[in-house]
């Protein structure tokens, strides 16, 4: 993934957008100072009722600005309206609905039973807001991945500075306008701009940083957070494999894989990066994938080129990179099975299937992040697992087979942020599941209660009622020594 932003100093109800350069660094600092100044007040005033109101206002803004959101994403990506509703608006609306339904329970202090040594005390854990949080959103799902974390941050009671990506400029401007007319800047402020703005933001002592993007930039964010000891949630990416077993239904697997790979023109951090398919079903899977591409986007290259249901690449630079991956692979001996066409000026890269890739090719080493799908036949599952384990841990792993034991064996033998069995991408939409990576694919988790806890500090509270612990205080008389020994024996 990738990302970045611009700067805004709006008052609620009066959207003002602008690019933060030069003196705007002072405006960023002033916004941060205003949000920081309100931390103590928010701990009391931003209670359950106020958080519900904030979430309702965000939901109402999404409903009110739906047509504008669709238009902005069409301008940035040529993204189909239905795909905007499904992948940008629906997940955020679902997060809001889920948070409103469960927020009272999430906020409630949890009682903890006393340990043997602390009988006579009462213990509880109370979630409290971390304070002022920074959300840096990527360009590939610029609305969803900006406002989804915002839902969790508001549910947890925080103030937020939000930086959308400048690579999706229409959506960035839309987000700035939507937020400015919905929240006062002391609660939520949008800062637009490029990497320079991100650097200025990361120099500030935020209480939590939520970043979605590439592992390379994630390292920069984590290093910046270390300077101020801010906690982080890093939603990164990597090469998420799909494994199609000998007992898979090729048509069903192709339906899910094609959707997961070619939605948003493949610019999805949990898209299947490549497919390992058992040689016994490889030809049938390829035929099914070709049929699915034709069904979804058009029967021939011209129809696919003009399909209203297929998005564009975010920038010419990214389109050039993807076209380069195809050309370098074919020059080294890979075979294009379907697609391969590109109109770089229009930022169009066709849904593409390639075979005969080798480990030394760039397409095998880089996260593809586009509509290019290597199909790799295998005979020995152990070799597939060894190859997956030899690389960074993926954000997602997908398994297709009718055999439950086949899927369970792969799940047990590999490490990944999530596993999808006979489906792709859908786990992102399940707000009851944690969404996050492991190792280079991410740190921490988002969505639902997991997102609420990411933006919360769990404060431990212990109260004395009739504790006998003072009996163990010095001076350490023979009686105290016997009591300590007795306690140790009772612990086993």
Residues forming beta bridges with residue 123, ordered by sequence position: 112, 462
Q: Tell me if the bond preceding 475 is cis, omega within 30° of 0.
A: yes
Per-residue CA distances from 100 to 45, 57, 156, 191, 385 (Å): 18, 12, 11, 27, 41
| Rounded Cα gap, residues 406 and 408, in angstroms | 6
Characterise 461 by phi-psi region: left (phi > 0), alpha (psi -120 to 50), beta (else). Answer: beta
Class of residue 319 by CB neighbours under 10 A (exposed 0-12, middle 13-18, buried 19+): buried
**H helices within 229-315, ranges in order?**
250-262, 279-297, 301-305
| Rounded Cα gap, residues 302 and 5, in angstroms | 35
Structure tokens at 393: 């841990």
Tell the residue number behind the tokens 């602008």, with chain if given: 18
Please confirm, yes or no, whether 235 is among the known catalytic residues: yes
Please confirm, yes or no, whether 133 is among the known catalytic residues: no
Catalytic residue among 269, 292, 367, 449: 269
Catalytic residue among 166, 235, 367, 449: 235
Structure tokens at 432: 């009851």
| Rounded Cα gap, residues 172 and 146, in angstroms | 10
Note whether 257 and 286 are within 8 A (CB).
no
- The helix-helix angle for 404-413 and 381-390 (nearest 10°) equals 30
Per-residue CA distances from 277 to 167, 355, 384, 401, 420 (Å): 35, 11, 10, 10, 16
| Residues carrying an active site annotation | 235, 269
């Amino acid at each position: 993934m990738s990302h970045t932003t611009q700067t805004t100093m709006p008052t609620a109800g009066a959207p003002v957008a602008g690019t933060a350069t030069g003196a705007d660094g002072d405006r960023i600092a002033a916004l941060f100072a205003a949000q920081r100044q309100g931390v103590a007040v928010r701990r009391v005033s931003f209670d359950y009722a106020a958080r519900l109101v904030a979430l309702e206002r965000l939901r109402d803004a999404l409903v009110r600005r739906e047509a504008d959101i669709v238009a902005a994403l069409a301008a940035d990506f040529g993204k189909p309206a239905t795909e905007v509703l499904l992948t940008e608006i629906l997940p955020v609306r679902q997060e809001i609905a889920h948070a409103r339904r469960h927020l009272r329970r999430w906020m409630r202090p949890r009682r903890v039973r006393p340990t043997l040594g602390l009988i006579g005390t009462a213990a509880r854990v109370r979630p409290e807001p971390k304070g002022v949080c920074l959300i840096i959103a990527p360009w590939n799902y610029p609305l969803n991945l900006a406002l989804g974390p915002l839902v969790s941050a508001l549910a947890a009671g925080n103030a937020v500075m939000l930086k959308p990506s400048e690579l999706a400029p229409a959506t960035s401007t839309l987000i700035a306008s939507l937020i400015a007319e919905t929240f006062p800047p002391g609660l939520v402020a949008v800062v637009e701009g490029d990497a320079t703005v991100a650097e200025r933001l990361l120099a500030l002592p935020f209480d939590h940083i939520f970043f979605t993007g590439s592992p390379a930039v994630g390292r920069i964010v984590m290093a910046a957070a270390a300077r101020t000891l801010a906690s982080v949630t890093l939603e990164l990416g990597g090469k998420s494999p799909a494994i199609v077993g000998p007992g898979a239904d090729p048509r069903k697997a192709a339906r899910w894989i094609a959707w997961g790979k070619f939605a948003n023109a493949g610019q999805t951090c949990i898209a299947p990066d490549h497919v390992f398919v058992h040689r016994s079903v490889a030809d049938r899977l390829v035929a099914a994938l070709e049929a699915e591409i034709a069904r979804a986007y058009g029967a021939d290259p011209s129809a696919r080129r003009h399909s209203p249901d297929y998005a564009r690449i975010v920038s010419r630079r990214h389109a050039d990179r993807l076209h380069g991956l195809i050309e370098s692979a074919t020059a080294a001996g890979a075979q294009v099975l379907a697609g391969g066409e590109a109109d770089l000026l229009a930022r169009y890269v066709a849904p593409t299937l390639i075979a005969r890739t080798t480990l030394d090719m760039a397409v095998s080493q880089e996260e593809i992040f586009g509509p290019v799908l290597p199909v790799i036949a295998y005979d020995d599952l152990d070799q597939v697992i060894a190859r997956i384990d030899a690389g960074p841990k993926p954000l997602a792993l997908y398994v297709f087979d009718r055999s439950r034991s086949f899927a369970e064996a792969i799940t047990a033998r590999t490490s990944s942020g999530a596993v999808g069995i006979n489906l792709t991408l859908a786990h992102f939409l399940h707000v009851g599941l944690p969404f996050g990576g492991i190792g280079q694919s991410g740190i921490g988790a988002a969505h639902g209660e997991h997102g609420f806890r990411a933006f919360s500090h769990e404060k431990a509270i212990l109260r004395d009622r009739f504790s006998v612990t003072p009996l163990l205080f010095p001076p350490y008389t023979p009686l105290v020594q016997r009591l300590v020994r007795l306690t140790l024996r009772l612990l086993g």
